[in-house]
Amino acid sequence: MNELEEIDTDMDEAPSPRVLKNIHAYWRGANYLSVGQLYLRDNPLLKEPLKQEHVKNMLLGHWGTTPGQNFIYTHLNRVIKRYDIDMIYISGPGHGGPAVVAGTYLEGSYTEVYPNITQDEDGLKKLFTQFSYPGGISSHASPQTPGSIHEGGELGYSLSHAFGAVMDNPELVAACVVGDGEAETGPLATAWHSNKFLNPVTDGVVLPILHLNGYKISNPTVLARISHQELEQLFFGYGWTPYFVEGDDPELMHRAMAITLDKVIAHIRQIKADALEKSDTGRPRWPMIVLKSPKGWTGPKEVDGYKIEGNFRAHQVPLIVSATAPPEHLQMLENWMKSYKPEELFDENGKLMPELAQLAPKGDRRMGANPHANGGQLLRDLRLPEFRNYAVPVDQPGAAGEGDTYVSGRFLRDVIKENQEKRNFRIFGPDETVSNRLDVIFEATNRQWMAPVDEHDEFLSPDGSVMEMLSEHQCEGWLEGYLLTGRHGLFNCYEAFIHIIDSMFNQHAKWLKASAELPWRRNIASLNILLTSTVWRQDHNGFTHQDPGFIDHVVNKKASIVRVYLPPDANCLLSVMDHCLRSRHYVNVIVAGKHPAPQWLNMERAVEHCTRGIGIWNFASNDQDSEPDVVMACSGDVPTLETLAAVSIIREHLPEIRIRVVNVVDLFKLEKNTEHTHGLCDADYNALFTTNKPVIFAFHGYPWLVHRLTYNRANNVNMHVRGYKEEGTITTSFDMTVLNEMDRFHLVMDTIDRLPQTGAKGVYLKQLMQDKLIAHKHYIRAHGKDMPEILDWKWVN
């Protein structure tokens, strides 16, 4: 149908009475299924009087948001079908599962995914029983729910997910329901500004539907208690055109919602047409809908003298039906369910009436069957340039380097170039792409930006592959939405501030874990997080910018999902980056430096080392002909530098000491293979670290993480880890390692303390190291920089 071009945005003609009547019936059906999910385990069509044994023993779930979402889903079905719209549905309010499950069941997509949930009475019984039930499904729009890319268990991310989903998807519309409780969160409040980044030509459309039902768990919501005028001004100020649908009379509300959606679709089509046909590259004022309806709409008005509909008490299960509850509650439940007139909605066998089934879209146009909501179906491999071509020449270990991330930036620049036609790769970051020394990528693209551009601005255009907003929440949310709909990306961030998205990472990791267990969910591209501007090189920012603890947080998650890499130099980073961009269904965390630093391995050796993930560095070891006296281990670029500097001191002063140097790129190599698929078996681990020799381990992060990963290894009692221990200030780079006792001098002293055979030579060397630390302290106070022997140190074989 080509009637969109003919629609006047000022029109107020509603669908026919017959269509509105069927819409109302379909909505009743969705509400009936939702209540059934909350309460019933038998007698799904109420063919006999309701009995206590028909009711679940544990009543879990949330009713308050559900009827409003059923209302929205039903009306979106109409416009999808009328205008042939490619649309996904994002349920932002927490615990909106009953609505999305009901919607997908009615349209048939649920049964296609789960054939045992049939379109009949037996299927209804199973549908009801499984909800919030042991062995069943959760109360959210979880990965188990067809059409969902957003669980909503933790509030605040629906709108940023929606925007990520439509980037580089010009035909896609993401209808995003924002709960009014959710709207109070910081990430959601900030996400309204995402409209400043959406390109109407190359991107799709986000249609926010702010669902104001007045209450959170037990409190009024802020946006529901401000005036209509103030609310309108708020969203107009955010750059939206708000359309309002308000009331509680179903007949009037159906008419108003239908008219409004027609206007909104016409408005969207007009924006798209202007951008395409008139080359209007200005930022449009996209439409949004504010839906005001009662919380728990159509549910019980009052229970035990308490107001329910339109009150916070409708939030969860509004009516307790149990053996110990008042007996009249059972009858109230039956009356409530019968108020939807199920006999008019389902035939004798429990199948939706044909005239109502016709209201749903067909095939992939159903929101539960849209391929964008199962993004692995659409995922295509990236075209990756040969990463070896970007190698840093390393004629001998310790060659000067220009900065590891700067080198990898050239690789990423060309990844963007290679995939510009597909438009399936973006880089996200909170205003740090230049700071993180990835600015070379701007040779290939710009930051996408739809607001005005001043003449002295740099790297801004309406069409770019870099997304920057000074909100880690938005960058992470955009990237997750982008990945979940079948594309690839990278998030670069200051190491200390990646903690801002700790809980978002949690939710995404849980999503990956749950979806991996569903055969119908296809794997998506990995969430790749590059952490730089690290703890050891924050001398100009100080203590506030020093925190390597995100990797501790990541290690908590399922071993099948998470990976942590600490490449020691640029060539290793190139190898790791290529591997991560090719991977599927993981969270890959890469920690790398951005400042000029020594380069240790040529590309051939780097690939070998990164493929193993851990290994002995022969060039730095001298135990080839005997057992080592000590193992000097390191993980991370600065710990590697300090370890090799310590090794050079010991070899100069104590040449008889046999040292084995072990470098760790893949952190999970330290864990047992029974705990993580990347872990080493005991035999291989013992071959590296021995079973009885001291291990001096210089680690990028908090020392106890290494102890945690190796706690059940044979030689754990001899594991001595140096890392960050919450000591820092504005100081020199080397002094940061000194403050945390991970510098070369402390590492030498640690080694001597654990090697009594060093005797008097060890005593004198230890005192020399103490003197060096004193000299260091005096020097930096006098000169404001590190000593020449630190700045000019080079590895010598």
Q: In sequence order, what DSSP letters do the residues of 10-24 get, joined into one string?
A: T--PPPPHHHHHHHH
In this predicted structure, the answer to whether residue 1 has a pLDDT above a threshold of 50 is: no
Task: Report the alpha-carbon distance of residue 773 to residue 793 in Å, rounded.
Answer: 16
Task: Report the alpha-carbon distance of residue 517 to residue 548 in Å, rounded.
Answer: 31
Written as one letter, the residue type at 146 is P
Provide the token pair at 239.
């750059």
Task: Report the alpha-carbon distance of residue 232 to residue 622 in Å, rounded.
Answer: 73
Task: Report the alpha-carbon distance of residue 776 to residue 773 in Å, rounded.
Answer: 5
743, with CB counted inside 10 A (0-12, 13-18, 19+), is buried
Give how far Cα 330 sits from Cα of 84, 298, 303, 308, 349, Å.
Answer: 43, 17, 12, 16, 25
Structure confidence at residue 10 (pLDDT): 46
Give how far Cα 219 sits from Cα of 181, 184, 312, 313, 314, Å.
Answer: 9, 12, 7, 10, 12
In this predicted structure, the answer to whether residue 7 has a pLDDT above a threshold of 80 is: no
Residues paired with residue 86 on neighbouring β-strands, in sequence order:
172
Nearest to 467 by CA among 199, 722, 218, 646: 199
Structure confidence at residue 539 (pLDDT): 66
For the residues 663-690, what does the mean pLDDT come to?
97
Provide the token pair at 770.
């103490």
In this predicted structure, the answer to whether residue 304 has a pLDDT above a threshold of 80 is: yes
Helix (H) or strand (E) holding 358: none
> Which residue has tokens 């879990």?
60
Helix (H) or strand (E) holding 764: helix 759-783
Nearest to 721 by CA among 692, 746, 758: 746
Task: Report the alpha-carbon distance of residue 220 to residue 351 in Å, rounded.
Answer: 39
Q: How many residues does the chain have?
A: 797
Torsion of CA 137, 142, 147, 150, to 10 degrees: 170
Nearest to 662 by CA among 597, 728, 630, 617: 617
Q: Which are the contacts of 58, defined by CB distance < 8 A and separation ≥ 6?
A: 132, 133
For the residues 34-49, what does the mean pLDDT come to?
97
Is 69 within 8 Å of 257 (Cβ atoms)?
no
Nearest to 414 by CA among 450, 438, 394: 438
Provide the token pair at 754.
């654990």
For the residues 621-625, what does the mean pLDDT come to?
95
Nearest to 531 by CA among 555, 556, 507, 564: 564
Is 212 within 8 Å of 171 (Cβ atoms)?
no
In this predicted structure, the answer to whether residue 680 has a pLDDT above a threshold of 50 is: yes
Structure confidence at residue 13 (pLDDT): 85
Provide the token pair at 296.
């728990």
Angle value at C-alpha 184, between 182 and 186, nearest 5 degrees = 100
* Least confident range of 34-48, 278-292, 432-446, 668-682: 278-292
Other residues' Cβ atoms within 10 Å of the Cβ of residue 170: 18
The CA-to-CA distance between both ends of the chain, in Å, stands at 76
Structure confidence at residue 2 (pLDDT): 33
In this predicted structure, the answer to whether residue 11 has a pLDDT above a threshold of 80 is: no
Per-chain mean pLDDT for the chain: 95
The share of the chain scoring above pLDDT 90, in percent, equals 92
Task: Report the alpha-carbon distance of residue 431 to residue 509 in Å, rounded.
Answer: 25
Task: Report the alpha-carbon distance of residue 413 to residue 425 in Å, rounded.
Answer: 11
In this predicted structure, the answer to whether residue 451 has a pLDDT above a threshold of 60 is: yes
CA atoms within 13 A on the CB side of 99: 27
In this predicted structure, the answer to whether residue 8 has a pLDDT above a threshold of 80 is: no
Is 554 within 8 Å of 502 (Cβ atoms)?
no
Task: Report the alpha-carbon distance of residue 715 to residue 753 in Å, rounded.
Answer: 17
Is 177 within 8 Å of 209 (Cβ atoms)?
yes
